Amino acid sequence: MYIQVTNNGTQFHLTNGRLSYIFHVMKNGQLGHLYYGKALRGREDFSRLQAYHVQTGNSTQLDDDSAFSIESFRQEIPSYGKGDFRSPAISLRMPDGSHVTNFVYKNYEIKEGKPSLPDLPAAYANNKDASTLQIRLVEKRLKLELVLNYTVFHDLPVITRSVSLDNRGLDRIFIERLMSASVDFPEKDFEMVHLAGAWARECHIKTRQLQSGIQSIGSARGASSHHYNPFLALKRFNTTEHTGEVYGFNLVYSGNFLAQAEIDHYDNTRILLGINPFRFEWRLEPDECFHSPEAVMVYSEEGMNGMSQAFHDLYREHLIPKHWQKEIRPILINNWEATYFDFNEEKLLAIAEKAKDVGIELFVLDDGWFGSRNDDTTSLGDWKVNKNKLPKGLKHLAEGVRLRGLKFGLWFEPEMISPKSNLYESHPEWAIKTPGEHPTLSRNQRVLDFTQDEVVQFIYEQMAQIIRETELSYIKWDMNRYITEAYSSGLEADCQDEFYHRYILGVYKLYDRLTKEFPSVLFESCAGGGGRVDPGLLYFAPQVWISDNTDAVERLKIQYGTSMVYPIYSMGSHVSAVPNHQTLRHTPLSMRGDVALFGTFGYELDPGELTAAEQKVIEGQIQKYKQHRALIRDGDFYRLINPFETNETAWMIVSKDKHEALIGFYQVRAMPNWRRQQNVRLAGLERDWEYVVDGQCFYGDELMTIGLPLPEEFNGVNGATAKRSGDYQSHIFYLQLKGKQN
Ligand code: GLA
């Protein structure tokens, strides 16, 4: 029984043997939270878990019970105004200007599987994989109904939660906040982990001990952002990558979000996750319903890797488009760093031809193929071929690429408009702008008002036509600036704070339409690199260009951090030329390949400029990737050595049956004579099985306890035996169960 209802239908226990999540109907009819964590045996009554004693100074909500105070109780969907002074999960404004609400329990329903969320991306599951509990609460005075949706996955330590508000009254109301997840923990001793960064430095791991008061991350940029990912975890002080408890939270949403931890005066910790209440308000008319995005909650007893693996499994099996779950993603070459805006058909076909020779499968034409775009100052919105550069047209180019044996893909930036464009001349009103304000440019461009259906429709028509005409196999969907002067002429004055949410719903609408109509087109999302790395977009685009930074050393941190939540097979990872265009660093081709191997592989360089020796290396890299790509797609990923802490990085991916594994080891600076013998301690293997690696045999327990010996490093005198030397070293090990070798 994944959902246990006890105590005369007042207690709810979601469990799957890996976690328990328990709440109940309190004496005042509201929902109280009781427990979230390690799986507990079911019992009739858990209400003793509610702290129930008189506390000086507290408000009491029941006149005849001085111990009843929501100020000290943990709650399921806290609201403001009746004695709980912490940040609420729900806040409404009524027509008379009042804010107090009292949502009480009405009934529940259990459904096998998982209902979808209208207009929003969300995890999906069939009846055998998940069970859903829907709790209906009612605000009797205001005639509002609130539904809390909980899905517990049967084989994953995961619960998803979303909230819907239904206006059954006669008056319009305003939603000021409706958080997707709200969890109260009866303790404060946690570290908060989140991912922070900037353009070209995305997803760096940040950890800090929780302190009394509020600590939060979020975005008000119109996108989930390079700066903070919609992810937050609480871990115990002694939790490591491999052991200990951690609670992970991730929002399936690509717009403004808030993720917050608050320690109150009784040392309870409240987690809130949802749409950022800043610049958000939603007018809800009678008979309308508002749905919050979905929050994913993971509980792991197996450290940070356990948490990450649960996210990875959920996203691979229950979030990305079904079509792409098992489909092989092509190894691509993207012309951006090879040519930037300076190309013609001949140059592109020469790249495609060389790319084919080394085994690449898809050619992607990046920015500059449309309108009259020769730099980043013009033409966004004019999705028609740039006749000056490609006089024979896109179809001709696409056929030329296919003739050379590669698939063809294109870059779009659908949400943008250049002030210098035909689109702007005919529809200046489609560019977002606050009346009377000078519009702020970023990368010389403005943002289209995707809250308006006709704008989305217009862009859809242009894209669909090109997809058909060129028989596209792939689209890189970029988004290179954040939103300023947010305002829509299509919205009434008291609905302007709906702008950001409606904008992202418009983005989802276009994605939904295109992916449904063209299911075999592979979408890769991008936002100047990692400006929208979130599960909301993974639902449509199974891979994402996680950073414009292609430097192998920087990528170690970016990929390591991104793997905290997102599967490695969703991370676009390309080998580029040196000196690297973002850092001017020279790293060996071998290291660039060894880093990119742990992702969806590709190249971002001109193969015509490679020496014969480099071409050979690349051929080898491509063969290696093809050999291991099913493992990279389906295996369990483990972070082993942390680049934020040391000069080294190591990670590995192990097949689910534990028969094979691929290990990546990287050392940024040479460190001769640093240690007598260097080992990398592996994880995820079968202790008693014997494995073969580079001709040597080891038992799983040896590899996980002592480690895999690294090749000897040059130390000035051991030239005859040393196997590695210099800065920017890397080594890939492939390990197989003994007797299973090809
Ligand atoms: C963004 C992307 C790059 C490239 C350029 C093109 O910066 O992240 O990969 O596509 O736009 O203008």
Write the pLDDT tens digit of every residue in 691-736.
999 999 999 999 999 999 999 999 999 999 999 999 999 999 999 9
Write the pLDDT tens digit of every residue in 531-541.
999 999 999 99
> 712 and 718 in contact (C-beta within 8 Å)?
yes
3-state secondary structure 50-109: CCCCCCCCCCCCECCECCCCCCCCCECCCECCCCCCCCCCEEEECCCCCCCCCCEEEEEE
* pLDDT given at position 741: 67
Q: Which two tokens stand for residue 720?
A: 């005859």
3-class DSSP assignment, residue 330: coil
What is the 340 CA–ligand 1 centroid distance (Å)? 9
> 67 and 80 in contact (C-beta within 8 Å)?
no
Is 478 a residue of the active site?
yes
What is the 293 CA–ligand 1 centroid distance (Å)? 28
Is 548 a residue of the active site?
yes
What is the 250 CA–ligand 1 centroid distance (Å)? 26
* pLDDT given at position 21: 98
Q: Report which protein residue has its CA nearest ligand 1's atom 1.
A: 528
Q: Kindly name the residue from 184, 264, 366, 478 that is annotated as catalytic.
A: 478
> 332 and 365 in contact (C-beta within 8 Å)?
no
- Going along 396-477, which residue ranges are E strands? 407-412, 416-417, 446-447, 474-477
> Measured between alpha carbons, how far is 28 from 61 in angstroms, rounded to an integer?
8
* pLDDT given at position 742: 58
Q: Which two tokens stand for residue 460?
A: 């859809």
Q: Which of 73, 82, 84, 62 is nearest to 24 (CA)?
A: 73
> Measured between alpha carbons, how far is 261 from 488 in angstroms, rounded to an integer?
33
* pLDDT given at position 676: 66
What is the 459 CA–ligand 1 centroid distance (Å)? 19
Q: Report which protein residue has its CA nearest ligand 1's atom 12.
A: 367
Q: Report which protein residue has its CA nearest ligand 1's atom 11.
A: 528
Which of 548, 573, 603 is the best mutation target for the ligand 1 pocket, counting ligand atoms within 8 Å of the beta carbon and taking the most? 548
Which atom, in ligand 1's list, is nearest to the CA of 376?
12
CA distances from 734 to 147, 153, 663, 696 (A): 49, 33, 6, 11
Q: Kindly name the residue from 367, 548, 594, 606 that is annotated as catalytic.
A: 548
Q: Is the CB of 524 under 6 A from ligand 1?
A: no
Q: What residue ranges of the chain have pLDDT lower than 70?
A: 676, 741-742
Q: Which two tokens stand for residue 583?
A: 């850092």
* pLDDT given at position 56: 75
Residue by residue, DSSP assigns 157-219 as: SEEEEEEEEEE-SSS-EEEEEEEEEEEEES----EEEEEE--TTS--EEEEEE--SEEEEEE-
Q: Is the CB of 139 under 6 A from ligand 1?
A: no
Q: Report which protein residue has its CA nearest ligand 1's atom 9.
A: 548
What is the 410 CA–ligand 1 centroid distance (Å)? 12
Q: How many CB atoms lie within 10 A of CB 20?
A: 23
3-class DSSP assignment, residue 706: coil
Phi-psi region of 452 (alpha: psi -120 to 50; beta: other; left: phi over 0): beta
